[in-house]
Amino acid sequence: MVRDRQLRAARLLKERRLACAVFADPASTVYLTGYVPPVETGPSPFEGGPPLVVLTADGGALLIVSDIEEPAARGRATVDEVIAYRAYSPSENLPREDGYREALMQALDKARFRGGALGIEGAVPHHATAWVAQVFRGAEFTSVSECLNPIRMVKDSDEVAAIRKAADISVAGQRAVRQLVRPGLSEVELFAAVRGQMEQAFGRRLPVLADLVSGPRSAEVGGAPSSRTVGEGEVVLVDLVPCVDGYWGDTCVTVFLGPAPEAELRQAHRVVVEALQKGIEAVKPGMTASELDAIVRGHVRKFGYDYPHHTGHGVGTTWHEGPRIVAGDRTVLRPGMVIALEPGVYVDGRFGVRVEDLLLVTESGAEVLSHHDKSLIVP
Amino acid sequence: MVRDRQLRAARLLKERRLACAVFADPASTVYLTGYVPPVETGPSPFEGGPPLVVLTADGGALLIVSDIEEPAARGRATVDEVIAYRAYSPSENLPREDGYREALMQALDKARFRGGALGIEGAVPHHATAWVAQVFRGAEFTSVSECLNPIRMVKDSDEVAAIRKAADISVAGQRAVRQLVRPGLSEVELFAAVRGQMEQAFGRRLPVLADLVSGPRSAEVGGAPSSRTVGEGEVVLVDLVPCVDGYWGDTCVTVFLGPAPEAELRQAHRVVVEALQKGIEAVKPGMTASELDAIVRGHVRKFGYDYPHHTGHGVGTTWHEGPRIVAGDRTVLRPGMVIALEPGVYVDGRFGVRVEDLLLVTESGAEVLSHHDKSLIVP
């Protein structure tokens, strides 16, 4: 629950002897408050900067937002106080930054910050920190960027519920891929229809990260949908990562358009499906991320293939976080971690194949959160 | 052209006695380099921060991007040098911020920054400025946030060309609205189909800001498409703002589903269409934004209505910029400015009506960049 996450983050501040810290990454805002800042159209020209979370070492949490975001923030955030600044009005030409940093000063005051060490997470705008430095002459900033990463890896039950929903939406997208894909559609046309199905399933717009590449483009591992027309006898690789209420889902399939894929494509697809299955069966609390990478990648290598990317990654308030399922990550898997596994095979100039499931690490193994048809042929 | 914009921005630095400045807003990156940073899925967990532009008072320009963005940046940016840092690799666990700030130090070195005053545009991550402050003991940061606003108002010919394309895409979306809207569709279903048509017209995904509200929701001025089903005898208000190659287009229509809108709705629609037309005819270089507001708003007020928002706004690398077409903005209109005009009428609990065109201020008046059917009835 949000309050548990605030307390967990507060303990991190205490360990670093910080009485207070300011977080600016939207992923941290979701994690620490439950409020989901909009991202799809970039920084708002109406606002002084991204929403800020001021957290104290005793677990106090304040959220700074513009008055435009205020209603949504009040509806969603679990914090001691939402502090809103006036961002824009048709009758005044407000210097947006003034309101923003006044709100930050107000929050620091309520957080009883009196100078000294202040944690700062990366994207706090400089005009705001400069103002703090000027008012609190003795303020010393210290980066707490990425400090939440370790605690974010193991999800709370409300986070798992949110990710389940995101996985369901991603799976709805994969269902739409099978229903809609056909030769003659462009990649972007297929993508738009698939995203539309995901948004309809959810009832609102969704940020969506996606690879959608067809034919020889699929050998390039990923890429945004283009105007390329999908042809008969080609593969289409579709990786769908929608953000549902601040948490991301992640699945991938590769489908073939036609009745008779060539033998090597059939084998490559069989190998990656097997590798994924072996990974799912191998997941156990106590094993390391690197051991899991070796099992999945090892199966693909046995057939003379490999993939130039990670075997998988954690998923949460960002679309990619710890643990990284790579050779170099010794993180021990623990119940409550949510990981995506996505082995692939890519044959230059010809085709690429990837399949991906989203898993919850449980006490005894893994629960698959994504149940989508991963077969190669579209009937 | 990009080089002209760099020189224009460099003159601003000179006026402020700054030898060098760092810009972090994606809108500034587009304006100063031509490279369009992706925004749709929020800050990338692979990167140390947003792309940065380092600009010198003699017009030198450097662009800092991750190696993930590097190919796109090299393809699009007009700068003296693209400096790429390693952001993520499956074989190493790189501290992303280290590469980011090393790239910034490298850029400052190439820009011959040796300490002293350094301009900073808002969103430069604090870990990077802190590093600069540590290396250059005498560095003094000064905010240059919003300093580009005045020069951004008058567009270069390449910018006008880009906005024309964005206006065309927005108009393609409005055509799709008329073709697709029908009772029984949900707002989000309609929106997804409309955005799909815009993306197909462009051949790639597009960031899109949009209002899509139906029935009594339209009286709320704006809002994201919801799961609400559009009904017979209702209005649908659709404001479409797609970003095409870094520049935004902006149009709005209100359509009625059925043969016989009530008299007050018909009148409200007629009044806003007339107000928009009066605004288009009134635009002349030399008039102020506030005079234009008075003409458009004045026409609506003559009929006992008003709207609780601006009459319009500039459009460019942000979806809202100067001049603001409001009572308090004395900015003098000049050829090359691009403005959206969007009068409306909103009747609580019943309906809202708004129409919007995108205009280029010319030597003698205004050229309408958006030619879309603004009639109330969908045949």
A121's tokens: 């997470």
Contacts of A310 in chain B (CB under 8 A): 90
Mean pLDDT, residues A314-327 taken together: 96
* B200 → closest Cβ in A49, A120, A186: A186
Instruction: Count residue pairs from A and B with Cβ separation < 8 A.
Output: 195
* A225 → closest Cβ in B97, B186, B205: B205
**Which range, of A119-123, A151-155, B29-33, B105-109, averages the lowest pLDDT?**
A119-123
B328's tokens: 């308090």
* B39 → closest Cβ in A39, A199, A204: A39
DSSP string spanning A173-213?
Answer: HHHHHHHH--TT-BHHHHHHHHHHHHHHHHTS---EEEEEE
pLDDT-derived band at A295 (thresholds 50, 70, 90) equals very high
CA distance B193 to chain A (A): 7
DSSP string spanning B9-65?
Answer: HHHHHHHTT-SEEEE--HHHHHHHHS-----TT-S-TTSSSS-EEEEETTS-EEEEE
The b-or-e profile of B174-197 (16+ CB within 10 A means b, else e) is bebbbebbeeebbbbbbbbbbbbb
Instruction: Pick the residue from chain A with its C-alpha nearest to B147.
Output: A95
Q: Is B127's CB within 8 Å of A146's CB?
A: no
**pLDDT over 90 at A294, yes or no:** yes
Chain mean pLDDT for chain A:
95
With contact defined as beta carbons under 8 Å apart, do A54 and A108 qualify? yes
The b-or-e profile of A144-180 (16+ CB within 10 A means b, else e) is bbbbbeeebbbbbeebbebbbbbbbbbbbbbebbbee
Higher pLDDT among residues A356 and B128, named by residue: A356
In whole angstroms, give the CA distance from residue B142 to residue B127. 16
Q: Is B224's CB within 8 Å of A204's CB?
A: yes
With contact defined as beta carbons under 8 Å apart, do B336 and B155 qualify? yes
Sign of the torsion formed by the C-alpha atoms of A175, B44, A88 and A93: negative
A258: left (phi over 0), alpha (psi -120 to 50) or beta: left
From the candidates A30, A69, A127, A320, which should be mutated to test the interface with B, based on the most B CB atoms within 10 A? A127
Contacts of B148 in chain A (CB under 8 A): none
pLDDT digits (tens, 9 = 90+) for A87-114: 887 777 666 788 999 999 999 999 999 9
- 3 state SS of A323: strand
Give the residue from B365, B275, B247, B279 showing the smallest Cα distance to B5: B247
CA distance B27 to chain A (A): 9
Higher pLDDT among residues A203 and B88, named by residue: A203
Instruction: Pick the residue from chain B with its C-alpha nearest to A320.
Output: B45
Give the helix/strand (H/E) hosting B233.
none
With contact defined as beta carbons under 8 Å apart, do B333 and B348 qualify? no
Q: Are strands B251-256 and B235-244 parallel, antiparallel or unpaired?
A: antiparallel
From the candidates B28, B36, B169, B205, which should be mutated to test the interface with A, based on the most A CB atoms within 10 A? B205
Q: Is A122's CB within 8 Å of B124's CB?
A: no
DSSP string spanning B300-335?
Answer: HHHTT---SS-SEEE-SSSSSEEEEESTT--PBP-T
Q: Is B45's CB within 8 Å of A324's CB?
A: no
Instruction: Pick the residue from chain B with its C-alpha nearest to A101.
Output: B122
Mean pLDDT, residues A189-207 taken together: 98
In whole angstroms, give the CA distance from residue A122 to residue A318. 15
Mean pLDDT, residues A221-230 taken together: 97
From the candidates A104, A126, A195, which should be mutated to test the interface with B, based on the most B CB atoms within 10 A? A126
Q: Indicate the angle between helix axes B157-180 and B187-202, nearest 10 degrees.
A: 140
The alpha carbons of chain B give a radius of gyration, in whole angstroms, of: 23
Q: Class for domain B157-368, per CATH?
A: alpha beta
Mean pLDDT by 10 residues, chain B (379 residues): 97 96 97 97 91 97 96 97 90 77 95 94 86 88 91 98 98 98 98 98 98 97 97 97 98 95 97 98 98 98 96 97 94 98 96 98 98 93
Cα–Cα separations (whole angstroms), residue B137 to A373, B123, B133, B140, B304: 59, 22, 6, 9, 62
Q: Are strands B61-66 and B81-85 parallel, antiparallel or unpaired?
A: parallel
Q: Is A196's CB within 8 Å of B200's CB?
A: no
* B126 → closest Cβ in A40, A143, A308: A143
Cα–Cα separations (whole angstroms), residue B270 to A151, A270, B221, B234, B242: 58, 63, 18, 17, 27
Higher pLDDT among residues B95 and A26, named by residue: A26
Give the phi and the psi of residue B367 in degrees, each rounded to 5.
-105, 125
Q: Would the CATH topology of A2-152 be identical to that of A157-368?
A: no
From the DSSP assignment, how many helices (H) and strands (E) are in chain A? 10, 17
Which DSSP state fits B186?
A: B
From the candidates B29, B40, B126, which should be mutated to test the interface with A, based on the most A CB atoms within 10 A? B126
Mean pLDDT, residues A256-263 taken together: 93
Vertex A205 angle, CA A201 and A210, to 5°: 85
In whole angstroms, give the CA distance from residue B53 to residue B24. 7
% of chain A beyond a pLDDT of 70: 99
CA distance B194 to chain A (A): 9
In whole angstroms, give the CA distance from residue B201 to residue A164. 34
Identify the burial level of B230 via C-beta atoms within 10 angstroms of its C-beta, where 0-12 means exposed, 13-18 middle and 19 or more buried: buried
- Structure confidence at residue B125 (pLDDT): 87
Q: Is B90's CB within 8 Å of A209's CB?
A: no
Q: Indicate the angle between helix axes B126-135 and A126-135, nearest 10 degrees.
A: 60
Q: Is A97's CB within 8 Å of B146's CB?
A: yes
B297's tokens: 């708003």
Give the helix/strand (H/E) hosting B238.
strand B235-244
Contacts of B91 in chain A (CB under 8 A): 326-328
* B143 → closest Cβ in A127, A319, A326: A127
Q: Are strands A117-120 and A140-143 parallel, antiparallel or unpaired?
A: parallel
Vertex A5 angle, CA A123 and A167, to 5°: 85
Instruction: Pick the residue from chain B with its C-alpha nearest to A68.
Output: B223
In whole angstroms, give the CA distance from residue A295 to residue A35. 38
Q: Is there a cis peptide before residue A50, judged by omega within 30 degrees of 0?
A: no
Cα–Cα separations (whole angstroms), residue A337 to A11, A295, B94: 20, 18, 22
Q: Indicate the angle between helix axes B126-135 and B96-110, nearest 10 degrees.
A: 50
- Structure confidence at residue A94 (pLDDT): 62
% of chain A beyond a pLDDT of 90: 89
Q: Are strands B208-214 and B235-244 parallel, antiparallel or unpaired?
A: antiparallel
Cβ atoms < 10 Å from Cβ of A367 = 15
* A26 → closest Cβ in B26, B42, B207: B42
- Structure confidence at residue A145 (pLDDT): 85
Contacts of A199 in chain B (CB under 8 A): 188-189, 191-192
Give the phi and the psi of residue B252 in degrees, each rounded to 5.
-145, 145
Q: Are strands A61-66 and A52-56 parallel, antiparallel or unpaired?
A: antiparallel
Instruction: Pick the residue from chain A with its C-alpha nearest to B90.
Output: A310
Which residue carries 């280290």 as its tokens?
B98
Where are chain B's structural domains? 2-150, 157-368
Instruction: Show the DSSP H helices in chain A as ranges.
Output: 2-15, 26-33, 70-76, 96-110, 126-135, 149-152, 157-180, 187-202, 263-282, 289-302
The alpha carbons of chain A give a radius of gyration, in whole angstroms, of: 23
Third-level CATH fold of A2-152: Creatine Amidinohydrolase; Chain A, domain 1 (3.40.350)
Give the phi and the psi of residue B45 in degrees, each rounded to 5.
-70, -5
At the second CATH level, the architecture of B2-150 is 3-Layer(aba) Sandwich (3.40)
Which DSSP state fits B354?
A: E
Secondary structure of A14-34 as H, E, C letters: HHCCCCEEEECCHHHHHHHHC
